[in-house]
Structure 1
Amino acid sequence: MTSGFLSALGGRIAERWLAALALPGLLFLSAVTTAMVLGHEHWSDLERLRTWLDTLAGSPASRSAGTVVLVAAGVLAGAAVAGAAAQSLGTGLELLWCAEPHGPVLRYLADRRSRRWRAADATFRAALVAGGRARIEGADDADRLADIAERRYADRDRIGAVPPRHPFGMGDRLAAPGQRLWRAHRLDLAAAWPHLWLLASDGTRAELQAARLRLTASARLCAWGAGYLVLALWWWPAALAGVVAVASGVRRGRAAAEAFAELTEALADLHVRDVATALGIEHEGVDDRVLGERLTQLLRKEKRAA
């Protein structure tokens, strides 16, 4: 039974390694080889690439089993190294997406997003007032002004649902549940999170983990895209793959951050009273804000004592 479990676990690890690192690494190595053989001058010369492959296959070394094994091992090792590099770069990118505005560059980016949001908010409020006035007065263009106000709201919401505090939108989105729970219930989400996680059902945990993994995969996709953009210095068609990968990674990252934030906030809304029950805090007839303050005081004391 133990050997069967270990075999299944090893199979899953190998499958994940193959999907996450080896296959993208092999594809990248293929692109590197193509770039080195063709370059900018012969970027679309497939005949040149085929001739190079035929020459390589016809060399005496290719008939040696030992050479073939060494080359295959080298290719797999190169793919693994490329995959590990992309994974490390993706981790750094993920941390950057969620970074606090420390340092002059990140502070500048956060201030820039804040200025853009305030300008968009002022434009939205002006459009909202104009639409409301037109509707009260019964003007013919009231519906048109209402549509303009909706578009201005969407413009502001694309920058951020709340006033930005982070250099990048994903950082604000991931921080939004904690801010909202603090404003609405005076609940410290960071202090309550371990207790909420332990009380969550397996299905809820699986949904949260899936959203978190999608965010990591999105950052790794952007890292692969950066690698192809660098490769475009030698073979310009690689830039097309790089731009598509980076754009897709950013788009998927935003969707994953949105899903993770919504699930986090929903988990807190559904189980905050369960946490109170587990900790022995009376909550029947207690206002949510008062309950949140009690939980925050208790959990913060537990953390300090620990």
Structure 2
Amino acid sequence: MTSGFLSALGGRIAERWLAALALPGLLFLSAVTTAVVLGQEHWSDVDRLRAWLDTLAHSPASRSAGTVVLVAAGVLAGAAVTGAAAQSLGTGVELLWCAQAHGPVLRYLADRRSRRWRAADASFRTALVTAGRARIEGTDHADRLADIAERRCADRDRIASAPPRHPFWTGDRLAAPAQRLWRAHRLDLAAAWPHLWLLAADGTRAELQAARLRLTAAARLCAWGVGYLVLALWWWPAGLAGVVAVASGVRRGRAAADAFAELTEALADLHVRDVATALGVECAGVDDRVLGERLTRLLRKERREA
């Protein structure tokens, strides 16, 4: 039984290694080889690439089994190293998405997003007031003005669902649940999160972990895209793959961050009273805001004593 379990575990590890590192790395090394052989001048010369492959195949070294094994091992090692580099760069991309507004560049980006959000919020509020006035007066175009107000609200939410504080959309989206819970219930999500996680069902944890992994995978895809964009300096078609990879990674990252934030806020809404019960805090007939303040004081005190 143990041998079977270890074999299955090894198979899963190998499968994940191939999917996450080796295969993308092999694809990138193939693109690098193509770029070196063709270059910008002969970017579409398939015959030139075929001739290079034929020369390589007919070389004396290709007839040696030892040489072939060593080359194959070197290619796999290179693919793994390339994949590990992309994984590290993906971690950097993820950190950048969630970065605070430190430094002149990040502060400029955060201030720019804040100005755009305030302008969109003012436009939405103006449209909302206009639509409300038209509905009270019973004018014929009240419904049209209400639709305009809804579009203005959607425009504002595309920038951020709450007043922006981060340079990028992803950071604000991930921080939004904590801001909303604090404003609505005076609950410190950072202090309550370990308790909420322990009380969550296995299915809920799996959904949260899956969303988190999708965010990491999206950042890694952006990292691969950056690599292809750099490779475009030697072979411009690689830039097309880089643009597609970066755009797809950003889109997937936004979707994953949105899902993770929604699940986080839903978990807090559903289980905050369970946390209070587990900690012995009276919650029957208590207003959510009062309960949140009690839990925040209790949890922060526990953290300080630790």
Sequence identity (%): 89
2:17 equivalent to 1:17:
yes
The letter for the 2-side match of 1:10 is: G
Secondary structure, counterpart of 2:166 in structure 1:
coil
Aligned length: 306
Counterparts of 2:64 and 2:34, CA distance in 1: 24
Paired AA for residue 133 in structure 1? R
Secondary structure in 1 matching 2:284: coil
* Residues 173-198 of structure 1, C-alpha deviations (whole Å, 9 max, x = no match): 10111111111111111111111111
Q: Secondary structure of 1:164's partner?
A: coil
Q: Which AA in structure 2 matches 1:118?
A: R
Question: Which residue of structure 1 lines up, in the alignment, with residue 29 of structure 2?
Answer: 29
- Does the residue aligned with 1:282 lie in a helix, a strand or coil? coil
Which residue of structure 1 aligns with residue 58 of structure 2? 58
Q: Partners of 2:179 and 2:58 in 1: how far apart?
A: 65
User: Displacement of 1:150 after TM fit?
Assistant: 2.2
Cα deviation code 1:111-149 (max 9, x no counterpart): 110001111112222222333333444444433333322
Q: 1:268 maps to which residue?
A: 268
1:223 matched to 2:223: yes
The corresponding residue for 1:123 is 123
Q: Could you say which residue in structure 2 is the equivalent of 1:76?
A: 76
Compute the TM-score of the two structures, normalised by the length of structure 1: 0.97
Q: Does 1:164 align with 2:149?
A: no
- One-letter amino acid of the structure 2 residue matched with residue 200 of structure 1: A
Secondary structure of 1:41's match?
A: coil
Supply the distance in 1 between the matched residues of 2:148 and 2:277 (Cα, whole angstroms): 48
Q: What residue number does 1:113 align with? A: 113
Using the size of structure 2 for normalisation, the TM-score is: 0.97
Letter in 1 for 2:189: L
**C-alpha deviations, 1:242-280, integer Å up to 9, x for none?**
000000000000000000001001111111111112112
What is the CA distance between 1:81 and its match in structure 2? 0.8
Report what 1:132 is aligned to. Answer: 132
Once the two structures are superposed, what CA deviation does each residue of 1:12-58 show, in whole Å capped at 9, x if it has no partner?
Answer: 11111110111000000001111111111111111111111011001
Matching residue's letter, 2:155 = D
| Gaps in structure 2 of 5+ consecutive residues | none
* Structure 1 residue matching 2:161: 3-state secondary structure: coil
What secondary structure does 1:166 align onto?
coil
Q: Which secondary structure does the structure 2 equivalent of 1:265 belong to? A: helix
Shift of 1:166: 0.6
Does 1:204 find its partner at 2:204? yes
Letter aligned with residue 104 of structure 1: P
SS in 2 for 1:84: helix
- State the partner residue of 1:90: 90
Distance in 2 of aligned mates of 1:172 and 1:159: 9
Measured on the aligned residues, the alpha-carbon RMSD in Å equals: 1.3
How far did residue 104 of structure 1 move? 1.5
278-287 or 225-234, larger mean C-alpha shift:
278-287
Task: Answer with 1-10 or 263-272: which moved more.
Answer: 1-10
The separation in 2 between residues aligned to 1:2 and 1:55, in whole angstroms, is 49
Alignment of 1:141-290 (within 5 A): 141-290=141-290
| C-alpha distance in 2 between matches for 1:109 and 1:212 | 25
- Return 222-231 or 32-41, whichever deviates more: 32-41
Flag the 1:69–1:250 CA change in 2: closer, same or farther, 3 A.
same
- Paired with 1:279 and 1:8, the residues of 2 have a C-alpha distance of 41
Distance in 1 (alpha carbons) for counterparts of 2:145 and 2:281: 51
Q: Following the alignment from structure 1 to structure 2, what is the Cα–Cα distance between the partners of residues 203 and 295?
A: 25
Q: Over residues 44-94 of structure 1, what are the superposed CA-to-partner deviations in whole Å (9 max), with x where a residue is unaligned?
A: 111111111011001000000111011101100110111011100000110
Q: Which amino acid aligns with 2:80?
A: A
Alpha-carbon distance in 1 for matches of 2:75, 2:103: 40
Q: Which runs of 5+ in 1 are unaligned?
A: none
How far apart are the structure 1 equivalents of 2:138 and 2:39?
A: 66
Q: Tell me, what secondary structure is at the counterpart of 1:165? A: coil
State the one-letter code of the partner of 1:170. Answer: T
Structure 1 residue 5 displacement after superposition: 2.1
